[in-house]
Each structure stands twice: as structure tokens, then as C-alpha cells.
Amino acid sequence: MKTLIYLVITALLLAALLVSLGVVFAEQADFTVCSGTAIPDSQIDGKIGPEWNDAATYQNVPINPSGTGQVWIKQDGTNLYIALQFQADSNKPWVAFQFGSSSCMSISADGALFGDSNYCPNGYADIHFNGNPGVVVDQQQDGKGAISVNGSNFVTVELKKPLNSGDTAGKDINWTVGNSYSFLIEWDSNGDGSSGGTTNHSTQTATSRTLLLSANPIPEFPSSTLLLIVLTAIISMISLAKLHRMRRPDILAC
């Protein structure tokens, strides 16, 4: 009886520890934006480095209007960090992110634009959408962004964006940890600020995805102390289970 009680207590402790580590199975979001370390502006340079090691990573994400990409995403309570890599069909594409609205190019939606020769010849622009002509470059430029394209037309985009810049004129987001928000990705290579390819962003509507801002780090990066406790609890459960089986009366076969 005591052994059974020990097993139950150990199981409950393990469950509580898993929850404390952020292992929540009921979350229904396309991207869980876990807590991570801040990235300085100097490392938002169009190159994926160790600064993204504690970000949640999503592979084979469909991007509009075609292709798939790899997405890194995290937040530090002050800024949102997003990186994207994908294969383009030219060396001069543009890439756009939209925040806070599920409708593509929704009036007053916040955005970030990369590589568009009309709006951001230096690589990045903090923008919002107004319906006509569609894109407006914010007078107050917040955040830091970069885009790079290698010789094989492989695109890397990095963005550091304030969760609340206070720029209401620029329609900037005011997001808080614990809530979910809409997010869109789109790119183009055949005109309107891009060139050299055949990908047209107007051929289909961009897919809206949900970002859940989580206060927890990604499960792969718990503190070493908590990880040791979890492993100890698992080993204890296994040992107690074996001990319980050894103490049962033998059942003799006829």
C-alpha cells in the first residue's frame, strides 16, 4: 500500500514539474512564441547564428504565394524576434510580415517589409497598410530588420520588433505576453518592388496564422536544476514500479 502511495505522489510531482517547464499540450496556436534572451541590433544582420538557439523553430512552413520556409520565433517581454529562411526564384525578392489582423493588407494593420526597392531600398521598413496604395512607411521607424539573398537565391530575413513601441500613428502593435495574435507572411519576385522571378503575391490570399506569446522558455531549454529533478522523478517512478512488482505473490501456472 505504501509503495502505491509513493507511486501516486511521484507521478503528481512529475506532472507539476512538467507544467512548470512549460510543457502544455492543450495550446492551439500555429506558432508558440516562447521567452528567450534579447538579441542586440548588431546581430540582426541577415545571418542565422547562435542568437536564435533559444527560439522555437518551425520547419516546412507554407509561405504565400508558394514554397515553404523555416521560422525562428521568440520574445523577451520587450521585443518580438522572427527569422525566416526560404528558397526564392530570384535574387531580388521582397518579403512582408503583417501583424494583428487576419485579413491580408487590412487597413491599419501593422507590418514589416524587407527588400522592396520602392519602400525599403536599404533592406527594412517599419510599415502599415492603408488600402490605397496599400503600403505606408511609418514616419517613426521602430525595430531592426535585415534581409540577405545568397548566390543560390536562398533568402534570410531577421526582425526585431517592439511589442509596444507607442507609435499609434504608425499603427504599431501593442501586444502582451499571454495573448494570441494574427500573423501573415508573404513574398514576391516579379514586380512592384521586386524583380527577376515569376512569383506573384497577388495570385492567392496570404494565410493567417496565430502567434501565442508564452512566458515560458522552449521545453528544450529548461534550467539544469529542474531538468535534474524531472530525471530523478522518472528514475524514482521506474524503481518503485519494479519494487512493487517484486513484492507481489508469485502466480503459479497450472
Is residue 116 a part of any domain in this protein?
yes
**Residue 65 carries which DSSP code?**
S
Quote the percentage of the chain above a pLDDT of 90: 66
Q: What integer is the mean pLDDT of 232-238? A: 59
Strands (E), 76-134: 79-87, 94-99, 110-114, 124-129
Is residue 160 a part of any domain in this protein?
yes
CB 173 within 8 A of CB 100: yes
Q: What integer is the mean pLDDT of 199-225? A: 82
Res 2: pLDDT: 53
Place 109 in a pLDDT band, splitting at 50, 70 and 90.
Answer: very high
Euclidean distance between CA atoms 166 and 126, whole angstroms: 13
> Domain range for residue 166?
31-213
**Which position has the grid cell 514616419?**
139
Is residue 52 a part of any domain in this protein?
yes
Euclidean distance between CA atoms 97 and 173, whole angstroms: 13
In terms of average pLDDT, the best of 12-16, 74-78, 104-108, 250-254 is 74-78
CB 161 within 8 A of CB 112: yes
| Residue range 206-216, pLDDT digits in tens | 899 999 999 99
Is residue 9 a part of any domain in this protein?
no
- pLDDT surpasses 90 at 237: no
Output the pTM of the full model.
0.78
Place 105 in a pLDDT band, splitting at 50, 70 and 90.
Answer: confident
Total Cβ atoms within 10 A of residue 95: 27
| Residue range 42-86, pLDDT digits in tens | 999 999 999 999 999 999 999 999 999 999 999 999 999 999 999
Euclidean distance between CA atoms 165 and 234, whole angstroms: 45
- pLDDT surpasses 50 at 18: no
Place 102 in a pLDDT band, splitting at 50, 70 and 90.
Answer: confident
In 3D space, the residue among 145, 147, 156, 188 whose CA is nearest the CA of residue 69 turns out to be 156
Quote the percentage of the chain above a pLDDT of 70: 74
- pLDDT surpasses 90 at 203: no
| Residue range 126-181, pLDDT digits in tens | 999 987 678 999 999 999 999 999 999 999 999 999 999 999 999 999 999 999 99
Q: Any idea what the CATH number is for the domain that residue 70 is in?
A: 2.60.40.1190
Task: Count the domains in the chain.
Answer: 1
Is residue 25 a part of any domain in this protein?
no
The chain-wide mean pLDDT, for the chain, equals 84
- pLDDT surpasses 50 at 15: no
Is residue 4 a part of any domain in this protein?
no
Is residue 42 a part of any domain in this protein?
yes
How many whole angstroms from its chain centre is CA 88? 21
Euclidean distance between CA atoms 118 and 102, whole angstroms: 25
In 3D space, the residue among 202, 124, 115 whose CA is nearest the CA of residue 153 turns out to be 115
Q: Which residue(s) pair with 135 in the sheet? A: 129
**Residue 219 carries which DSSP code?**
T
Distances (CA, A) of 224 to 205, 227, 231: 44, 5, 11
Is residue 8 a part of any domain in this protein?
no
